[in-house]
Structure 1
Amino acid sequence: MTQQPPKFTRTKAWLLTDTPDSAFQAASGRFYLGLLEFFRNKLAVIGLIIIVALILTALFAPQIAPFDPVITDLANRLQPLSGDHWFGTDEMGRDIFSRIVWGSRLTLYVILLVAVIAAPVGILVGTAAGYFGGAIDTVLMRITDIFLAFPKLILALAFVAALGPGIENAIIAIAITSWPPYARIARAETITVRNSDFIRAIRLQGAGPIRIITKHIMPLCMSSLIVRVTLDMAGIILTAAGLGFLGLGAQPPSPEWGAMTSAGRAFILDQWWLITMPGTAIFVVSLAFNLLGDGLREVLDPKSDS
């Protein structure tokens, strides 16, 4: 009797076959090969682990944080690192470790909302400009150039100054300044494929511009857009921290990392942990998104040399 190969071996052979029987099998095979390529990049895996840890920290902040992040305890103000307060306490006696843990929620909140707002706007503007061309392309790209002409933080400061301080206004300001690079990428991808044979065939079948853009062109732009969004997460974090540092982001007593860094600068010489701990959190998370973005670029970018 012929012995059957192990289930894992059969699954691997099914994924790696050169003659897939369905679109699902072909997509599964590409996904599996992409995972193998991604996990060969050790730095990208480290970035992914840090981001997963950030998400879990934000989800289970009430269980992880040993103290309330906003209740003051002046009797314990400016305490150094100890067994009770792992990262010390701030000028109001609040546990810095607990505030960093709760601050991870604000960080993810900003990242997700900015991505949800900016990426769709950018891909919509870019694909419309690239597909229609002419006057529409000129107008949309000149508007994009105006936004790109200003440094992101300076432009965000201007919008926050107009809207008023607060985390929601900071998110709106960062989103307004974040969409132009996505529009540029989507436009370039659209120009590449708009005159392709399959687009002509779809047009001959009676599909209108909206259907062609949303159903056929936008999906082709997603891989490049995902890479760019992931790489931009670090910039979003730094911009949000910069606004918080200047007092224009989340307002006290919210445990926002940039605001914590700003409050700690008055004590940097003697109580170094007040500025070092939230600053390190900003650095580590920003680095993690850059490492993850580089790994995704190697996997998703068909023009990559790797």
Structure 2
Amino acid sequence: MAGSPLAEQPSSLRAWLLSPEPNSRWQARLGRFYLGWRAFTRNPLAVVGLGIVVLLILMAIFADVIAPYSPVAGGDLRTERLLPPSETFWLGTDDQGRDIFSRIVHGSRITLLVIVLVALIATPIGLLVGTVSGYLGGWVDTVLMRTTDIFLAFPRLILALAFVAALGPGIENAIIAIAITSWPPYARIARAETLMVRNSDFIAAVRLQGASTPRIIMGHVVPLCVSSLIVRVTLDMAGIILTAAGLGFLGLGAQPPQPEWGAMVATGRNYLIDQWWVAAMPGIAIFVVSLGFNLLGDGLRDVLDPKAAK
């Protein structure tokens, strides 16, 4: 019934979230989240990107349940080698008789691991360097930004190759190398945001109250830079995936028999003409996941960028 409490509950909840005079910080935060979610869902491509990312996460979590075969154990080379997609092997088999679908599913764990660890390592470094450089200025700014420029002067993949060559092949060293080459753009963004707020009235008021420089940077400047960095990190996920796949393709990332997508493409290039699925299927996985993060990043930019038109 139209006048029942159940019918009125969603409307009252929406009114509570959109209240112009929230009664608590919690209500204000939920209201901002609700407005951001409504703005995000108006972009259908962003919702598609979010769906792809969520699917990647679920696939990585439940890989043991989803994958019908072992990702590393080879099949019968006489009867199961380089088979085309079928009801038994949905995406075909590779040169060792292994199910490509199972390897792609388990490879999502490696991809997600690289994404998460690179973000956890590179983002704080870039945020700290950028905020300290922008707030202190002077010779500190000069030293930190010239160091950042040195890293930016080299293409990311080339610099990552140099670090992996020095550290040795392996997924752990690949993650470290990608993280080392990923922080400079974050530092640039954080510095630009810091330069915009360091002379503002509320920073001057905090300084007059006796707050120390580290407290001002960590408690007041860093939070203002987070939203811009979230957007940039999300957009950079596609580049991180491609860099990790490139290192795997060259044999410098995850080592066989680990089901890393780039290494799978490298294996399949030898059979590209007659058994195209060996290289095409992991290549499609790389493309779809990279596209998903790009679409998600575009949607987050529209929501979180305070300079974007509403």
Q: Deviations over 1:197-237 (max 9, x none)?
A: 11111111111010000111100001000000000000000
Q: Percent identity?
A: 70
Q: Deviations over 1:215-271 (max 9, x none)?
A: 111000010000000000000000000000000000000000000000000000000
Q: Counterpart in 2 of 1:144?
A: 148
Tell me, in whole angstroms, the C-alpha distance in 2 between the residues paired with 1:26 and 1:71: 53
Q: Counterpart in 1 of 2:209?
A: 205
Q: CA deviation at 1:287?
A: 0.2
1:21 maps to which of 20, 23, 34: 23
1:266 maps to which of 266, 270, 278: 270
Q: CA deviation at 1:300?
A: 0.2
Count of aligned pairs between the two proteins: 305
Pairing 1:64–2:66 present: yes
1:6 maps to which of 1, 5, 8: 8
Q: CA deviation at 1:17?
A: 1.6
Query: What amino acid sits opposite 2:174 in the alignment?
Result: A
Tell me, in whole angstroms, the C-alpha distance in 2 between the residues paired with 1:27 and 1:61: 35
Query: What amino acid sits opposite 2:52 in the alignment?
Result: I
Q: Map 1:6-155; keep pairs closer than 5 Å.
A: 6-73=8-75, 74-75=77-78, 76-155=80-159
Q: CA deviation at 1:22?
A: 2.2
Q: Counterpart in 1 of 2:309?
A: 305
Q: CA deviation at 1:305?
A: 2.2
Query: What amino acid sits opposite 2:31 in the alignment?
Result: G
Q: CA deviation at 1:21?
A: 2.1
Q: Deviations over 1:19-78 (max 9, x none)?
A: 222222222211110000000100000000111111000000000000001001113110
Tell me, in whole angstroms, the C-alpha distance in 2 between the residues paired with 1:3 and 1:48: 35
Tell me, in whole angstroms, the C-alpha distance in 1 between the residues paired with 2:254 and 2:208: 52
User: What is the aligned-residue RMSD (CA, Å)?
Assistant: 1.1
Q: Which runs of 5+ in 1 are unaligned?
A: none
Local SS of the residue matching 1:90: coil
Pairing 1:245–2:287 present: no
TM-score, normalisation: structure 2: 0.97
Query: What amino acid sits opposite 2:40 in the alignment?
Result: F
Tell me, in whole angstroms, the C-alpha distance in 2 between the residues paired with 1:39 and 1:3: 29
Q: Deviations over 1:138-193 (max 9, x none)?
A: 00000000000000000000000010100000000000000000000000000100
Query: What amino acid sits opposite 1:266 in the alignment?
Result: N
Query: What amino acid sits opposite 1:250 in the alignment?
Result: A
Q: CA deviation at 1:8?
A: 1.2
1:226 maps to which of 219, 226, 230: 230
Q: Map 1:154-169; keep pairs closer than 5 Å.
A: 154-169=158-173
Tell me, in whole angstroms, the C-alpha distance in 1 between the residues paired with 2:4 and 2:154: 67
Question: 133-142 or 20-29: which moved more?
Answer: 20-29
Q: Which runs of 5+ in 2 are unaligned?
A: none
Local SS of the residue matching 2:309: coil
Tell me, in whole angstroms, the C-alpha distance in 2 between the residues paired with 1:137 and 1:121: 15
Query: What amino acid sits opposite 1:147 in the alignment?
Result: F
Q: Deviations over 1:68-114 (max 9, x none)?
A: 01001113110111100000000000000000000000000000000
Segments ≥4 residues shifted beyond 3 Å: 2-5
